[in-house]
Amino acid sequence: MVWSAPLGFTSFANIQQHGERYQDEWGAWYGSDESSWPGAWMENFVVNNREEWRKVQFPDPRLPERVAQPKRALELVEGELAVVAGVRGPFSATWMLSGMENISRWVIKEPDLLEDVLREMGRWNTEMGLFLIESGVDAIMIHDDWGMNMGTLVKPEHWKRHFLPYIAEEVETLAATGTPIIMHSDGNLNAIMDEIIQLPISALNPIQRNSGMDLAALKQTYENRLCLIGNISASLTLAHGKPDDVELEALECIRDAGPGGASIMAPDHSYHNAIPTENVWRVFETCKAYGRYPLDMDVITTRIEELIGQGAGLGWAVKKPDAQKDVLAAKKTKATAQANICLRFTPCL
């Protein structure tokens, strides 16, 4: 598959088109430099109170220019790849308009304002999603990050009460077209997984290993009700490990989620600039060598044991929050020293 951004998917193509600083169609200013991958940072928030919300001018979600890139992607792949187009969910669209400080305050003091913004931002992105589907894309990915490394960005009870209804409305409307819907959210989502699984989504991405998302446990609990995408550590193993460390983690993903299907090999976020090319290739090579069906679990298990015997996997796979303390307290070999640095300074991507 190939991911494609519609015009208005904030901070991606806009920076490339407009330089280091630009103002989006909602009125928010963004800045960037060489370290601001993958897009930009926000310099202001458009909606800080009810009065500013009343003044918001909604741009047209069906501008023909919005689907130009996805349509071009469809032409270029010629049916060889699925074209997945991204839209925002109500949560991420709201914090990009108003900021997390305002959201945190509104949850307690102005829930009606919060829900008004969530509802309308969700519906705007839904309309853009419908336009993308009509333009021929194969799937929609809703980007609506709810998690951080240690849990959800807002309390689970607040998420369920104030945010879930509008997330569900967007997902249900888009899924009703028969188009596969992929939900994207980083972080530790364990506290809300029972609610996520009830949404009519086809897949969840990226199952962030470093945030305590246990792929084997998810597969065992929810079986094939949801396609699980990801779980190879992008901030530890891929960025700092050796190819054998990467192969071990990829094999663990095949072992833990591969049986019965409903699994896609992928990193637990993105292939970013700090990842050596050889590690990216090892993921593909491992998937091709061991991921064909029917899976030979004996061969996979034997190879895992061989890699462990050769010293692969020295603390890179952080599956539980407590494991971070173990790594930090471990003997500082070259491998664990690198892991310590990453755990200390790498935020939830």
The pLDDT of residue 294 is: 96
Nearest to 209 by CA among 244, 180, 248: 248
Q: Which 3 state secondary structure label does DSSP give 264? A: strand
Nearest to 69 by CA among 80, 77, 60, 79: 77
| Cβ proximity of 97 and 47 under 8 Å | yes
The answer to whether position 172 is within a domain reads yes
The answer to whether position 349 is within a domain reads no
Q: Is the pLDDT of residue 196 over 80?
A: yes
The answer to whether position 332 is within a domain reads no
| Cβ proximity of 145 and 184 under 8 Å | yes
**pLDDT tens digit sequence for 276-330:** 999 999 999 999 999 999 999 999 999 999 999 999 986 554 443 444 444 334 3
The pLDDT of residue 335 is: 36
Q: Which domain holds residue 248?
A: 2-313
DSSP 190: G
Inter-CA distances, 340 with 102, 104, 173, 245, 336, Å? 34, 31, 44, 16, 6
Q: Work out how many domains the chain is built from and give that number.
A: 1
Provide the CATH number for the domain around residue 131.
Answer: 3.20.20.210
The answer to whether position 329 is within a domain reads no
The pLDDT of residue 333 is: 34
The answer to whether position 319 is within a domain reads no
pTM of the prediction? 0.87
pLDDT above 90 coverage of the chain, percent = 76
The pLDDT of residue 23 is: 84
The answer to whether position 173 is within a domain reads yes
CA 103/CA 144 separation, integer angstroms: 14
**pLDDT tens digit sequence for 37-80:** 666 788 899 999 999 999 999 999 999 999 999 999 999 999 99
CA torsion angle 207 346 8 131 (round to 10)? 0
Backbone φ, ψ for residue 345 (5° rounding): -115, -10
